[in-house]
Amino acid sequence: MLYDLPFLAAALLMVIGIATMLLRRNLIKVVMGLSLVEAGVNLLLVALGYRGGGIAPIFTNAPQDLMVLPTVQAMTLTNIVIGIATTALMLSFVMVIYRRYGTADADAVRRLRG
């Protein structure tokens, strides 16, 4: 049960994130929801690589054989970097939209129709 907790937390984070994206009308909050989904995926990745009692996978100082899996940590790191880039891009979009339209409300920002 204890080992399942991170997986449940990851799923919960993703659900909260998607719900935020769907229910909140403020564009900044939509971006925040997306960041929550990303955090959920990151947590899932790191949790996958965990081994009970394992140590950090630093090669030269290993006192024992049991290490957590470094591949998923590398993947998580890559995803964090990508996440920073996308979040920055989307926030600057929201900023431009706010300056052009005078609002960041998703209901008001709807000039593209049809």
Partner 1 sequence: MTMSKIVRTAAGWLFPFILVFGFYIVMHGHLTPGGGFQGGAVIATGFVLLIVAGSYGDISRRITKASLSGGETLGLLLFIVTAITGLALGGTFFANWLADGGLIFGNPVLFGANPGDLNTAGVIPIMNLAVGVEVLGALSVIVLYMLSGIAEEGA
Partner 2 sequence: MIPAFILQHAPALLLCVPMLGAFATPLLGRLGAGIRNAWALLAMLATLCVAGILTSEVLANGTLIYTFGAAAPSFAVPLDSGGIPIRIIFAVDAMGAFMALSASIVGTAVLLYSIASQKKNSGQDGYYGLLLLLTVGILGMVCTGDLFNFFVFLEINSLAGAALVAYRVDKGVAVEAGLKYAVLSTLGGLLVLFAIALLYGQYDALNIAMIASRMQFTLLDKVALVMLLVALAMKAGSVPMHFWTPDAYSMAPSAITAFLVVASQASLYGVFRVVFSLYGLALDCLTVGWIIIILGVLSMFVGVTMAIPQKDVKRLMAYHAVSQTGYMLLGVGVALAVLGNQDLLAAYGNIAMQGGIFHIINHAMYKGLLFLTAGAIFYRTGTRNLNRLGGLGHSMKWTMIFFIIGALAIAGIPPFNGFASKLMIYESVFLFNPLLSIIAMVVSILTLASFVKVFHSIFMGPALPEYAEVREAPLPMLIGMGILALMVILFGVFPQQVVDILVAPAAAALTDQGGYIASVLGGA
Residue 57 is given by DSSP the state: -
Q: Out of 5, 19, 66, 88, which residue is the one contacting partner 1 (CB under 8 A)?
A: 88
Site for partner 2 (CB under 8 A): how many residues?
A: 33
User: Nearest 5°: CA angle at 59, between 56 and 60?
Assistant: 120
Q: Out of 51, 80, 93, 105, which residue is the one contacting partner 2 (CB under 8 A)?
A: 93
Residue window 11-30: x/- pattern of binding to partner 2, with contact defined by CB under 8 A: ---x---x--x-----x--x
Q: Scan for tokens 């995803």, then name that residue.
A: 79
Where are the alpha helices (H) located in 49-69, listed in sequence order?
none
Residue window 41-70: x/- pattern of binding to partner 1, with contact defined by CB under 8 A: ---------------x-xxxxxx-------
Supply the DSSP string of 76-107, one letter for each residue.
Answer: HHHHHHHHHHHHHHHHHHHHHHHHHHS--BTT
Residue 102 is given by DSSP the state: S
Q: Out of 48, 55, 67, 68, which residue is the one contacting partner 2 (CB under 8 A)?
A: 48
- Residue span binding partner 1 (CB under 8 A) among the ranges 6-14, 37-45, 77-85, 103-111: 77-85
